[in-house]
Amino acid sequence: MITLDISRARKFISDDEYIHARTLAFSGLEELREGTGPGSEWLGWRDLLANPNLGLISDIHTLASDIRSKADVFIVCGIGGSYLGAKAVIDALKSEFDGTGPEVVYAGHHMGGAYLQSLINYLSQPNADGSAKSVYLNVISKSGSTLETALSFRVLRNFVETRFDDASSRIICTTSEEGGVLNSVIEEKGYRKFIIPSDVGGRFSVLTPVGLLPIAVAGVDIRNLINGACETYEYLEEDSEDILEYAALRNVLHAKGITIDVFSSFEPELTSFGGWIQQLLGESEGKDGKGIFPTVAAFSTDLHSLGQFIQDGKRSLLETFLVVKEPTSDFQVPAGEHFGDGLDYLDGESFHTINTKARLGTIEAHCEGQVPIVTVQIPRLDERSLGGLIYFYEMLTGVFVYSLGVNPFNQPGVEDYKKAMYRLLGK
C-alpha cells in the first residue's frame, strides 16, 4: 500500500486555497474517469489495468526467458518513454552487481557518436572465455523515424545482421500496429514484433511491451509488476482521496509560485525512477506557460551538491521524498576501536537505520528552511510495490494536469524542436 503524507506541505496553504483546489482536482478526476477531457483518446494506460492482457504478458515472459538463456547483451534502443520506464524498473529491482542473465544496455537515447562507437567496440570483444558475445536488440519506436533511435538502430541492426545468421530472431521491434517505418522493415526482414497500443503515449507506456520486454529480460517478474499496478488501479478507483489531496496541494503551490519539484530519495535504486517521473510530469504539465519543473536528487549524495540550494536558496521549491519502508537487504557497521575513524558510536548499527535517520534529519532541516515536503512511501522495493507506484504517479499526472486546465497527453513543444532540428539537418 502506498502511503502519502502532505502534512508538512499543507501548512503552507490556507484552508480556502485547499478547498478550491480540491474542487479543481475532483473535476480533473471526473474528466479522467469519464474520458471527457482533452487528449482522452490517450487513456489506454488505464484500460491496460482494467482488463490486463494475460496472454500477451505470458508471451513476453516466455520470449524473455528464452533470451535470458541465450543472450550475453540485450540492447534497448529507444528514447524518452521508450526506455526510461524500463530503466527505472530495472535499476530499482536489479542490482548492478547481480551478474545473472544478460547485460542490459541502452542506445538510441542520444546522438553521441563516441558512445555508439564504444558500444560497437564492446559488443565486438569476446567474452572472458573467448566466445563471441551473443547480442539481442530491441528497437522501440511507434513511428520508427525518431532521429536518435533510427540512427542507432541503423548501426546496431547492421552489426547484428553482419554477425549473426539468425539475426531475424535476435532483433525485436516494438512499434505501432500498422504504418510507420519499422513495419516496412519488419515485413521485409521478418523481425519479431510487439505492438505499442495506439491509445498509449510514450511516457505512459512502461506497462506495455515497450517496458515489459526489457524488464522481463533483465529478470524482473513482470506478472507481479502488473499485479501490483492492477491492485493500485482497483484501490484508487474505489478511493481516490490520496490522488485528490496530492493534486490539490500541487495546484495551490503552483498558483503560489512554486516552480520546481525536487524528487528526492535516500534509496540509490530509485534515482532512475525519479527520472521516469521527471518525464511523466514534465512532458505532461509543462505547456501553456504552466507547470512545476520536476527534477531529481539522489541523497545523501546530492546533499553535498544540491543540499545547500534546497536548504537556503530561493524559496520556489517543493520537495517530494520517495521512501521505501523496509529494506530488501542490509549491512551492519563493523565494530572495533582499531578503526580510529571516530565512528564507534555507530558500531553494529544497520546502514538502513543510519540512512533512515539521515532522511528524517534532512526532512526536518528542509522543513525549517521553509520547503514544503511531501512523502510518498512504498512498503518495500519489489515488483508489486513498484507497479503500484507507477500507476499512482500516472493517475496523479492525469488528475493534476487536468486541474491546471492543460492537456496532459500532447507534447507540442517536442514537435517544435523536432521541426527546427530536421530543418537544420536538411530534411
Cα dihedral across residues 249, 255, 258, 259: positive or negative:
positive
Catalytic residue among 61, 94, 133, 418: 418
Catalytic residue among 304, 314, 338, 427: 304
Distances (CA, A) of 271 to 5, 125, 144, 265, 393: 20, 30, 29, 7, 15
Please, what is the end-to-end C-alpha distance for the chain in angstroms?
50
Buried b (16+ CB within 10 A) or exposed e, 295-330: bbbbbbebbeebbeebbeeeeebbbbbbbbeebeee
33 contacts 388 by C-beta, under 8 angstroms: no
297 contacts 262 by C-beta, under 8 angstroms: yes
Return the closest-CA partner of residue 193 out of 216, 210, 205, 218. 210
Q: How far apart are CA 64 and CA 206, in angstroms?
A: 16
Q: List Cβ neighbours of 316 (8 Å cut-off, separation of 6 or more).
A: 257, 258, 259, 260
Distances (CA, A) of 328 to 92, 312, 380: 11, 34, 7
Residues linked to residue 4 through DSSP beta bridges, in sequence order: 376
CA angle (270 as vertex; 268, 276 as ends), nearest 5: 140
325 included as an active-site residue: no
Catalytic residue among 31, 148, 283, 319: 283
109 included as an active-site residue: no
283 included as an active-site residue: yes
Residues linked to residue 139 through DSSP beta bridges, in sequence order: 77, 173
**So which residues are the catalytic ones?**
283, 304, 418
